[in-house]
Chain A
Amino acid sequence: MTYTAPVKDIAFVLNHVVGLDELASLEGFEDASKDLVDAILEESAKFTGDVLAPLNWSGDQQGSQWKDGEVVTPDGWKEAYSQFTESGWGSLSFSTEFGGQGLPMTVAAAVQEMWHSANMSFGLCPLLTQGAVDAIEHHASDELKQRYLPKMVEGVWSGTMNLTEPQAGSDLAAVRTKAVPVGDHYLIKGQKIYITYGEHDLTENIIHLVLARLPDAPEGVKGISLFVVPKFLINDDESLGARNDVSCVSIEHKLGIHASPTCVMSYGDNDGAIGYLVGKENQGLVYMFTMMNQARHAVGVEGYGIAERAYQKAVSYARDRKQGKTMLGKDADDHGIINHPDVRRILMTMRSNIEAMRGLGLECAAAFDRARRHSDPATREKMQRRGELLTPLVKGWSTEMGVELCSLGVQVHGGMGFIEETGAAQFLRDARIAPIYEGTTAIQANDLIGRKTSRDGGQGMSELLSDMQEVLVQLKQADHLDMKAISKRFEPAIASADKATQWLLGQNDATLPSATSVEFLMMLGRLAGGWMIARSALAALALKKEDGADHGYLDAKIMLARYYAERMLPLVESSEIIVVEGAESTISLDSAQL
């Protein structure tokens, strides 16, 4: 059940595909030199491999336990968490003002992939803290920032996001939790569900960010405000004070991520939980959305992180397991099932998709970094558009693929894969939540066709497709058989995406596009992944010309890209047909006929 972080592959994308050197040249990112990032990746690999990965299976089996309002995490988690915070891993991309390291989001995303591969249930705790820190840092008053951020950045306090209520899931307009102003604070009353790490024993305090309504708030999404509600109130001397009126009523029994407590939180069972307003009244949802991109991106990283772990397990099993006479073995004794062509199909599908997703995840993070730090305002704007456009792809496509690839990982193991003790099943169970939380795939698809495509008249999309055209030109100019093979499938795939986008923009009503929006999202995700892996092939080809090049490694990068182009990109073309022609039949039955 081991995990070895793919440091070389991650560094390859950072250094040769998404342009870490260029990021490090931006003001404020000077620290992010190749040497430093290499050292960070190495140390993170050590930590995640030695400390987090060994707790993954035991954590799943034991699970977090609820008793009388307290939640006990599995054996070893407390120690691992304190090592995690002492090592400063949670503070990577946070601003130096509050004790963070101020590194680019791109570097943070590279490191976070390792958390989720090693132990997704564990990785969720810092992931949620990060979301809460972002919300406070961007929108709260200086006083709240000073009071909460240093400890949260350090990781000795964790953070949670309290959005969902039983009647308000994807539709947050239905939020009912109440907030009544009393002096300098508010009293919060209501129930929140699905609160990840809402209660646990890893940190001395838990800072909840809670969506609630003021008594005079307008109906719907325009009447939601955001509050900071600490588990323990903070005294003026910064010590921990009284227990706030918030408690964990129960935790859910779930398909996966057993070690991550998913809590039902009750606010204000007695007098009301003391909360502090973040920013202005009734602006809660706007604030949530500014950080939503980051949180969604982080869940996308989970998608390929968990797939990477499943791949490592599958490939190692395929090497060891001997069955039948193989077609690809080097000699008569070489009967590992890895030498069956169809097992190669599975492993190549896993590996190439993971590389494509990792490329896209890091490209998206790099876009947000450039949007924040680039010296040219026009580039900043374009990169913000780019990051926002890619986010639903990273979240939607990578998490859907994460499930598919973890399922393939089970398949490699045959009957053994279906047996829990093997461990391959856990990855599939854990992966299954990622397309659901932080906005389901359908919500991502709505975001993609609405906010990210139609709203700007397709500007962001046409910029993206034209960047892809540039890569297509490079592939054609490379005068190389594999690059030609890639361009052969990349070209019609781009054309298909363009046609599907035009169809979408031509619709007056959102009903038909909504019926095939997930197909549109998967199509664009797959294409964008193809764009990234093609760039990786071009980079590998260029590196092969250098002295002392690692030809075996670089040739593999090129062949993975060709495999992806030949076996994944044709799906983009068929998606065009589905998007354009498949909408009507999808919605034509009367609901009673179903």
Chain B
Amino acid sequence: MKILVGVKRVLDYNVKARVKADKSGIELANVKMSMNPFDEIAVEEALRIKEAGHATEVIAVSIGSSQSQETIRTALAMGADRGILIETDELLEPLAIAKLFKNLVEKEQPGLVLLGKQAIDDDSNQTGQMLSALTGMAQATFASNVEFEGEALKVTREVDTGLESIRVQMPAIVTADLRLNEPRYAKLPNIMKAKKKPLEIIPVADTGVDVSSGLSVVEVNEPPKREAGVLVKSVAELVDKLRNEAKVI
């Protein structure tokens, strides 16, 4: 069984995001980029599944600019077997990403697609769900535990009310939540070997997938700065402020 793992190159989680001067987006030039932390968890899970003998190959997939190769190499250094980069300089939206993944699913026929539950840059949390709808594969999102039960997976999901266990038939799509595992550190010899592992680069145009977007970004702004608090004299004043100033009740 093959596992496809999505790895997205995002602004490093330690870097404070800054809005570009022209408000067209977030400043990404000359800032540290790294693998989306949820994707790291997905890679780790894929490797553990392979090490447990349930899978034969782990393929790390990224969709993005040429520099996303570094992100794929990181996954290869952790232990993935090969990589695929669908190259595009556009910032694609989840639906386009899901369509491109569907294209790869048809080509590679994986038994399992592991994705991060969301990327920390746009926090969309959509790709896994959309891919499930497009392919008809079962989905198990926000996974905090994955167990094999024959041809099925028993997945524990982190939901608002607590933990939910579901059983899904494979092929399936699982999206990783924070507590699924703790990703390993890449070993030095594996970092060296990663350089020699195959990494296929497919220009987005060659996929024949329509990646056009129905959305356009009007403006990106920083969240408003938090202002200093005031002491209220009475409950009535508090209620009044909540109703008329904050407009929350």
Interface string of A67-95 (1 = CB under 8 A from B): 00000000000000001001111011000
A32-53 CB contacts (< 8 Å) to partner B: 33, 35-36, 38-40, 42-43, 46-47, 50-51
Partner of A38, one of B14, B70, B186, B189: B70
Contact present for A39 and B30 (CB under 8 Å): no
* Chain B nearest CB, measured from A103 CB (Å): 8
Residues of A close to B23: CB separation below 8 A: none
Interface residue B197 (Cβ < 8 Å from any Cβ of A):
no
Contact present for B187 and A88 (CB under 8 Å): yes
- In the bound complex, CA of A530 to CA of B88 (Å): 44
Given A31-B192, A36-B195, A550-B30, are A43 and B70 neighbors across the interface (CB < 8 Å)? no
Residues of B close to A4: CB separation below 8 A: 14
Given A39-B194, A43-B77, A553-B30, are A89 and B188 neighbors across the interface (CB < 8 Å)? yes
Contact present for B195 and A35 (CB under 8 Å): yes
Q: Is the interface of A mostly helix, strand, loop or mixed?
A: helix
- In the bound complex, CA of A33 to CA of B191 (Å): 12
Residues of B close to A38: CB separation below 8 A: 70
- In the bound complex, CA of A43 to CA of B192 (Å): 12
Contact present for A548 and B191 (CB under 8 Å): no
Contact present for A548 and B188 (CB under 8 Å): no
Partner of B29, one of A42, A88, A548: A548
A267-293 CB contacts (< 8 Å) to partner B: none
* Chain B nearest CB, measured from A588 CB (Å): 56
Interface residue B68 (Cβ < 8 Å from any Cβ of A):
no
Interface string of A343-364 (1 = CB under 8 A from B): 0000000000000000000000
Residues of A close to B32: CB separation below 8 A: 8
Interface residue A469 (Cβ < 8 Å from any Cβ of B):
no
- In the bound complex, CA of A50 to CA of B191 (Å): 18
Partner of B188, one of A35, A51, A92: A92
Partner of A101, one of B29, B70, B77, B189: B189
* Chain B nearest CB, measured from A112 CB (Å): 13
Contact present for A101 and B192 (CB under 8 Å): yes
Interface string of B49-83 (1 = CB under 8 A from A): 00000000000000000000010011001000000
A: interface residue count bin: 20 to 34
Contact present for B30 and A87 (CB under 8 Å): no
- In the bound complex, CA of A338 to CA of B187 (Å): 39
Residues of B close to A553: CB separation below 8 A: 30
Contact present for A86 and B189 (CB under 8 Å): no
Q: For A83, give the chain B residue with the smallest CB separation.
A: B185
- In the bound complex, CA of A40 to CA of B191 (Å): 7
Residues of A close to B70: CB separation below 8 A: 35, 38-39
* Chain A nearest CB, measured from B195 CB (Å): 6
Residue among B73, B185, B192 with max Cβ neighbours from chain A (10 Å)? B185
Residues of A close to B14: CB separation below 8 A: 4
- In the bound complex, CA of A91 to CA of B32 (Å): 27
Q: For B74, give the chain A residue with the smallest CB separation.
A: A39
Contact present for A88 and B195 (CB under 8 Å): no
B8-63 CB contacts (< 8 Å) to partner A: 14, 29-30, 32, 34
Interface string of B216-243 (1 = CB under 8 A from A): 0000000000000000000000000000
Residues of A close to B187: CB separation below 8 A: 86-88
Partner of B191, one of A8, A36, A83: A36
Residues of A close to B189: CB separation below 8 A: 88, 91, 101
* Chain A nearest CB, measured from B97 CB (Å): 25
Partner of A40, one of B30, B34, B188: B188
- In the bound complex, CA of A30 to CA of B32 (Å): 26
Interface string of B172-211 (1 = CB under 8 A from A): 0000000000000111110110110000000000000000
- In the bound complex, CA of A83 to CA of B184 (Å): 10
Residues of A close to B34: CB separation below 8 A: 42
Residues of A close to B191: CB separation below 8 A: 36, 39-40, 43
Interface string of A213-224 (1 = CB under 8 A from B): 000000000000
* Chain A nearest CB, measured from B182 CB (Å): 10
Contact present for B185 and A46 (CB under 8 Å): yes
Given A4-B14, A36-B195, A38-B70, are A43 and B185 neighbors across the interface (CB < 8 Å)? yes
Q: For A89, give the chain B residue with the smallest CB separation.
A: B188
Interface string of A1-22 (1 = CB under 8 A from B): 0001000100000000000000
Partner of A91, one of B30, B77, B185, B188: B188
- In the bound complex, CA of A550 to CA of B29 (Å): 8
Q: For A91, give the chain B residue with the smallest CB separation.
A: B188
Residues of A close to B194: CB separation below 8 A: 39
Q: For B194, give the chain A residue with the smallest CB separation.
A: A39
* Chain A nearest CB, measured from B211 CB (Å): 25
Q: For A111, give the chain B residue with the smallest CB separation.
A: B188
Residues of A close to B185: CB separation below 8 A: 43, 46-47, 50-51, 83, 87
Residues of B close to A550: CB separation below 8 A: 29-30
Q: For B69, give the chain A residue with the smallest CB separation.
A: A35
Residues of B close to A47: CB separation below 8 A: 185
Contact present for A548 and B30 (CB under 8 Å): yes
Known: A39-B186, A88-B189. 5 other contacts (CB 8 A): A31-B192, A40-B188, A43-B77, A43-B185, A91-B188
Contact residues of B with A, CB < 8 Å?
14, 29-30, 32, 34, 70, 73-74, 77, 185-189, 191-192, 194-195
14 of the cross-chain contacts (CB-CB < 8 Å) are A4-B14, A31-B192, A36-B195, A40-B188, A42-B34, A50-B185, A51-B185, A87-B187, A87-B188, A88-B187, A91-B189, A101-B189, A548-B30, A553-B30
Which 10 pairs from chain A and chain B are nearest by CB?
A: A88-B188, A550-B30, A87-B187, A43-B186, A88-B187, A88-B189, A39-B191, A47-B185, A87-B185, A36-B195
